[in-house]
């Protein structure tokens, strides 16, 4: 079955998304909708999680990639496709191409997480590592397309891509017909544009809210200006939405169908990822956790029932480790500090005894004895502690000070 959006951009319609849904039947999973008791209690209304992190390839990207590639003409398929991505789009294009019998080449940045590189290769793509930033990788892919005739598959700036991503919105309406608010992460805007178009065309009363990371928030200034505006050096742990400029195609749809675009901090993202793991038992990448971060940062701002789209779960284990520590620290569950002790036998045991009394779990201890700032009989101890919350952190610091220690951090 072949599908291709043939209308001009501004007339992309609900029927295009419904056509994409038929195309994806038996290809993309209808992902689960899981309730969250904890988030529901915070919001004061039912909150559901749309688990695209459980989609094939670990994100929603397969939907748009499959629809886009399936719409290619025979001569275009014969030329193969090329994409540039650090992760989710790469895997979506690789699997979609394999399912459709199309040769794929995927450019990924040097230093891309090894699990994502390996997965992309396993899905059948010829992976080429080029450039240290995504712009360099993108330029290499575009050169390859020009030289070989391969069709460049953009991650978000094409009507077919948006139609495919919009099927997430149709599923939400089928699974949670009483929904009043939908939150979705925003990078280039393909997912938000598709979900907004699909949902608002059927239920104009539903509020659609986009969420961006503060350090990579190109949509607020773009919406204010009325056209896509590039921001310099976008920076966030949420690499899935770290995009410096909105796509031309999704921008007009986001402006028309998305009611609001909010921003969240890195601390919010860390806390959201930790919550998804601990409370929902779901592995979610930072970009996928951004809607949950918005709920945590301002839970009373959303009318329920609420659906938060967990757009992906492809997170490098090393990054996950750092994020979890950051999230634990932000939630008062992890405390790092330095203090001065007298450098004599038994000093460390005495210090640890104080921590035992206040029930702080010691994860790591480091000693410094040769710093020129230290006195002849002094040592500096760095402690990493597992704590029970902000109040417990204060209790630990107070106990150390009461015992006569100089707490430096």
CA-nearest of 243, 67, 246 to 162 is: 67
CB atoms within 10 A of CB 379: 19
Please state, in angstroms and rounded to a whole number, the distance separating the CA atoms of residues 156 and 389. Answer: 40
Residues 6+ apart with CB under 8 A from 317: 115
Sign, CA dihedral 154-158-162-163, equals negative
Helix (H, G, I), strand (E, B) or coil at 232: coil
How many helices and strands in the chain, by DSSP H and E? 17, 14
Residues 6+ apart with CB under 8 A from 351: 339, 341, 381, 405
Helix (H, G, I), strand (E, B) or coil at 338: strand
370-375 contacts at long range (C-beta below 8 A, 24 or more positions apart):
374/340
- Cα 127 versus chain centre, distance: 23
Catalytic residue among 40, 59, 252, 311: 311
Residues 6+ apart with CB under 8 A from 84: 106, 107, 108, 134, 137, 138, 140, 141, 142
Catalytic residue among 61, 85, 97, 200: 61
Contact present, 33 and 46 (Cβ < 8 Å):
no
Contact present, 312 and 273 (Cβ < 8 Å):
no
Is residue 311 annotated as a catalytic residue, yes or no? yes
Is residue 61 annotated as a catalytic residue, yes or no? yes
DSSP state of 150: P
CA of 231: how far to CAs of 156, 158, 224, in Å? 18, 21, 14
Please state, in angstroms and rounded to a whole number, the distance separating the CA atoms of residues 96 and 68. Answer: 9
Residues 6+ apart with CB under 8 A from 352: 362
Q: Annotated catalytic sites, by residue? A: 61, 311
């Amino acid at each position: 079955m072949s599908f291709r959006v043939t209308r001009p951009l501004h007339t992309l319609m609900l029927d295009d998304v419904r056509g994409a849904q038929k195309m994806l039947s038996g290809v993309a999973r209808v992902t689960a909708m899981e309730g969250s008791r904890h988030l529901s209690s915070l919001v004061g209304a039912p909150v559901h999680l749309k688990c695209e992190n459980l989609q094939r390839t670990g994100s929603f990207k397969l939907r748009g990639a499959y629809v886009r590639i399936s719409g290619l003409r025979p001569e275009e398929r014969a030329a193969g496709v090329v994409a540039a991505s650090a992760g989710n789009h790469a895997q979506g294009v690789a699997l979609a191409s394999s399912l459709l019998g199309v040769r794929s080449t995927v450019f990924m940045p040097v230093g891309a997480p090894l699990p994502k590189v390996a997965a992309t290769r396993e899905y059948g793509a010829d992976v080429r590592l080029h450039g240290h930033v995504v712009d360099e990788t993108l330029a290499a892919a575009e050169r390859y397309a020009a030289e070989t005739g391969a069709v460049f598959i953009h991650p978000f700036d094409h009507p077919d891509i948006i139609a495919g991503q919009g099927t997430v919105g149709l599923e939400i309406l089928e699974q949670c017909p009483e929904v009043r608010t939908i939150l979705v992460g925003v990078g280039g805007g393909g997912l938000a544009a598709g979900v907004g178009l699909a949902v608002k065309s059927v239920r104009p009363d539903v509020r659609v809210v986009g969420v961006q990371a503060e350090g990579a928030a190109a949509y607020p200034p773009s919406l204010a200006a009325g056209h896509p505006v590039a921001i310099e050096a976008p920076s966030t742990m949420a690499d899935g939405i770290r995009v410096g400029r909105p796509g031309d195609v999704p921008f007009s749809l986001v402006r028309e169908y998305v009611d609001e675009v909010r921003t969240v901090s890195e601390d919010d993202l860390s806390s959201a990822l930790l919550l998804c793991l601990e409370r929902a038992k779901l592995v979610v990448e930072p970009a996928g956790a951004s809607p949950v971060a918005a709920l945590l940062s301002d839970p009373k701002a959303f009318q329920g029932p609420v659906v938060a789209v967990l757009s992906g779960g492809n997170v490098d284990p090393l990054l996950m480790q750092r994020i979890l520590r950051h999230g634990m620290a932000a939630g008062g569950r992890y405390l790092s500090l330095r203090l001065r002790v007298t450098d004599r036998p038994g000093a460390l045991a005495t210090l640890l005894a104080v921590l035992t009394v206040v029930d702080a779990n010691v994860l790591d201890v480091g000693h410094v004895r040769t710093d020129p700032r230290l006195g002849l009989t002094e040592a500096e101890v760095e402690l990493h502690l597992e704590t029970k919350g902000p109040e417990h952190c204060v209790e630990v610091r107070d106990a150390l000070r009461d015992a006569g220690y100089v707490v430096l951090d």
